[in-house]
A and B are shown apart, each in its own frame.
Chain A
Amino acid sequence: MTLFRTRKPLPFVFMMVSILYFIYVISLGSSAMIGDEIGGDPGGMMLPLVLSIFMFVASTILFLTDKKPQEATGKVQGTSERRLFLLTVIIAILYVAAMRPLGFIITTALLIFTLTFYYLQGTVVRKDTATWAVGTVATLAILLALYSIGRVITRYLLLSARQGRIPQWLGSTSVVVGVVLVVVLALYYLLYKLTRIRFHHERVPSSVSRAFDACMISVLTTELLYLVFRQMFLVELVRGLITW
């Protein structure tokens, strides 16, 4: 047990991985090249087996030689940093899991807002939950409004160009993206200018002011990512709850 207390855990993890890998390769069995009736092909098992043995040797050497430093490294990370780290891991896992049911727009906005808000706060504490919830609703409301305006403009331009009501070039991808970008940015700027003073940190509690900053960053980033990847590069972003 002393050995485990003085050694780093990663080499041990790799030792276990290499043993499991070895067993797995053996269980798979070898597969020869198609048309290798004469023989000569070392088979698909050969290199993975050698690799697993090499990984075991290397990780065992590291396990025996790579000792933990005298002072505990864990102490470097404070409670706030640990909480923020955990929050990030959880939010990242939730982002991947919720992408399909909720859709790209909602999950992306939530991830950016939540992380930016708590990072600006510097820690995760229960008393910020109400501010976070209100900020989340506000972020989604503003974003959905801007997104919907962008969709209306996009549909109008594409449809009108196809029906010949406006010149064809006005319905090209780059022009549509350009027009939507200009309109969305103008509306965003207007909104920011009108609300910035209201949420200045001298007028409202600092957590509210930070929630406002996080909200504005989240809205802009999500909208820009949508425009670049969906409208410009035609990547199929998951719609989820937003079906329009």
Chain B
Amino acid sequence: MDTLLQGFMQIANVSTIVWMAVGSIVGIILGALPGLSATMGIALMMPISFQLPTATGIGLLLAVYCGAVSGASIPAILLGIPGNPNAIATVEDGLLMTKKGKAGQALGGAVVASFIGGIGSLLALVLFSPLIAKLTLAFGPAEKTTLALVGLVIIASVSGDNIWKGLLMGAFGMGLAFLGTDPFSNQLRIPFSKYLATTPLSKGLDLTSTLIGLFGISQVFIELKKPFVGSQHVEPVKIDHIFPPFKKILSMWKIILSSLGIGTLIGAIPGTGASIAVFMAYNTAKTITKNSNGKLEELGTGALEGVFAPEVANNAVTGGALIPALALGIPGDAATAVLIGALMIKGVTPGFHLFATNMSLVYAIFITMLIANIFMALFQLLGVRLYPKVLGVPQQILLPLILILSFIGAYAIAGQATAVGIYNLGIALVMGLIGYFLKRDGYPIAPIVLGLILGGMFEENFRRAVKLAGGNYLTFFTKPICLLFIALSILSIVLPIIAKKRGKHR
């Protein structure tokens, strides 16, 4: 009880509330703007969170995360263009509802659904993450090595259309993580060490600048590849009757529960992400409505059910993805990978150690997640008539602003050290260009982030495990937990290949 109170005290201040409100609004706006993702929003806000106390900073990032996931439904409903992949499945029924003159109910319904999804998955996070973290008590260096491996392999194998691209990106990320100094001997491991030994690069790549480059700057370059879309023309639509009838929400309880379960579970599996969850939830809802004997409207006809199912699921992913992130240090998706990066910059390492030594911070994170969901619902409902206007901001104005925010973010993380700040600018720019070429050719970025975050953990535990086993590499095959993780790693590579081959045959 004391730790809960301590956790509450960490965030019971005006600064936290104000920054979370800002984060929520920024998140909704970023989510609403097509092409800008939750991950990019979190990466751009990282430098600000770095300047704030840990709990407040994490609260800000969680508010951006929840806001961006939910905000993506606005253009999906009004224009038929999802703000980001999280809202792909909302398009069909959302747009049809707008065409039927029910835009208000669709937008309001999406907010209510997102809130239910967020709160439901938060409950799962509160219940399961301490238990899973406790399980890691049985983990020694060998188990931690294979855990890092499984996290890396799963995300590499399921992100993108080509498994080799994912694996190559994971390895590339690990290679970047190895730059700097050897953790055990302090030997320099950077090319041109004669010249770079006295630069900030001798400590390795700055994580924040790398993430900002990969997600922020590269996106600006990608958007420049296409002709400017200018301001999105939103037909003037009547937005009224925002709250869906309570009776209607109650009648959808089966859809809500199934979407909540799917979203939380999919979110908790590393690498899967919301875009898979929303389609699964939508398809399940289709079956439920078909078997409802006319009590529920059929999906694909402009039904509120078709907005509810994906919106509950995508926000349920937020809590689900945080379960392995907080308990094991293995992120559920790219956005939580960046969140873990933010925690690590603050000196907080997720996993059992966090739960054992800093439970008050864990409680603070849970409470900020609750506030983030409340703010998301509040600000999206309050601004339901205003956010469509955000879609009118032309890309020509938006892109320079994203570029400069990315630069200032990378610079500001250095605080008082201007020389380090300028190096960070260079890292962000180089990583932005690398990210651009990779994205252009369809290479997934998430495995690079995973490699960067898990690379250090993998190397340290690998060497420790082999050292403890007296140089015996087979030690990883003698422990049941390791064998389980190795089997999972192999399965996560083999299963997508088999599924792809089966798909081709069909």
Query: Which A residues are within 8 Å of any B CB, using their own CB?
Result: 8, 10, 14, 21, 24, 28, 31-34, 36, 39-44, 46-48, 51-52, 54-55, 58-59, 61-62, 65-66, 76-78, 80-81, 84-85, 88-89, 92-93, 95-96, 99-100, 108, 111-112, 115-116, 119-120, 122, 217, 221, 225, 228-229, 233-238
Q: How far is the CB of A150 from chain B (nearest CB, A)?
A: 17
Of chain A, the residue at the smallest CB distance from B407 is: A95
Q: Are B164 and A61 in contact (CB under 8 A)?
A: yes
Query: Which B residues are within 8 Å of any A CB, using their own CB?
Result: 48, 51, 162, 164-165, 167-168, 171-172, 174-175, 178, 182, 184-187, 189, 191, 217, 220-221, 224-228, 394-397, 399-401, 403-404, 407-408, 411-412, 414-418, 421-422, 425-426, 429, 432-433, 437-438, 441, 443, 458-459, 462-463, 466-471, 473
Of chain A, the residue at the smallest CB distance from B220 is: A88
Q: How far is the CB of A38 from chain B (nearest CB, A)?
A: 8
* Cα-based distance from A202 to B165 in the complex (angstroms): 52
Of chain A, the residue at the smallest CB distance from B410 is: A96
Given A100-B422, A112-B400, A115-B399, A21 contacting B175 (CB threshold 8 A): yes
Partner of B224, one of A47, A85, A237: A85
Given A40-B467, A88-B224, A235-B412, A111 contacting B164 (CB threshold 8 A): no
6 residue pairs, one from A and one from B, having the closest CB atoms: A119-B396, A31-B185, A115-B400, A31-B187, A44-B182, A58-B168
Q: Are B422 and A238 in contact (CB under 8 A)?
A: yes
* Cα-based distance from A76 to B466 in the complex (angstroms): 52
* Cα-based distance from A235 to B421 in the complex (angstroms): 10
* Cα-based distance from A53 to B100 in the complex (angstroms): 58
Q: Are B189 and A55 in contact (CB under 8 A)?
A: no
Q: Are A111 and B400 in contact (CB under 8 A)?
A: yes
Q: How far is the CB of B17 from chain A (nearest CB, A)?
A: 15
Q: Are A42 and B462 in contact (CB under 8 A)?
A: yes
* Cα-based distance from A108 to B401 in the complex (angstroms): 10
Q: Are B185 and A44 in contact (CB under 8 A)?
A: yes
Given A92-B429, A100-B422, A112-B404, A47 contacting B459 (CB threshold 8 A): yes
Q: Is the interface of A mostly helix, strand, loop or mixed?
A: helix
* Cα-based distance from A66 to B443 in the complex (angstroms): 11
Given A10-B438, A96-B425, A236-B416, A88 contacting B187 (CB threshold 8 A): no
Of chain A, the residue at the smallest CB distance from B428 is: A96
Q: Are A55 and B220 in contact (CB under 8 A)?
A: no
* Cα-based distance from A23 to B414 in the complex (angstroms): 33
Q: Are A85 and B221 in contact (CB under 8 A)?
A: yes
Residues in B with CB closer than 8 Å to A32 are 184-185
Partner of A85, one of B225, B403, B407, B468: B225
Q: Is the interface of B mostly helix, strand, loop or mixed?
A: helix
Can you report 24 residue pairs joining A to B where beta carbons are below 8 Å apart?
A10-B443, A14-B168, A31-B187, A32-B184, A33-B185, A34-B184, A40-B466, A51-B174, A51-B178, A55-B171, A81-B224, A88-B224, A96-B426, A111-B403, A111-B404, A112-B400, A119-B396, A217-B397, A221-B401, A221-B404, A225-B408, A236-B421, A237-B418, A238-B422
Partner of A95, one of B48, B175, B191, B425: B425
Residues in A with CB closer than 8 Å to B425 are 95-96, 99
* Cα-based distance from A192 to B159 in the complex (angstroms): 47
Q: How far is the CB of A64 from chain B (nearest CB, A)?
A: 10
Q: Are B466 and A41 in contact (CB under 8 A)?
A: yes
Residues in A with CB closer than 8 Å to B429 are 92-93, 96
Residues in A with CB closer than 8 Å to B404 are 108, 111-112, 221, 225
Q: How far is the CB of B456 from chain A (nearest CB, A)?
A: 11
Q: Are A236 and B463 in contact (CB under 8 A)?
A: no
Q: Are A58 and B167 in contact (CB under 8 A)?
A: yes
Q: How far is the CB of A40 from chain B (nearest CB, A)?
A: 4
Q: Are B416 and A58 in contact (CB under 8 A)?
A: no
* Cα-based distance from A10 to B442 in the complex (angstroms): 10
Residues in B with CB closer than 8 Å to A108 are 404, 407-408
**Other contacts beyond A33-B185, A65-B164: 14, CB < 8 A:** A10-B443, A34-B184, A40-B470, A42-B462, A42-B463, A51-B174, A78-B227, A88-B221, A95-B425, A115-B400, A115-B403, A120-B397, A229-B412, A237-B411
Given A42-B463, A42-B466, A112-B401, A10 contacting B164 (CB threshold 8 A): no
Given A24-B191, A31-B185, A44-B182, A55 contacting B175 (CB threshold 8 A): yes
Residues in A with CB closer than 8 Å to B217 are 92
* Cα-based distance from A108 to B226 in the complex (angstroms): 25
Partner of B168, one of A42, A59, A92: A59
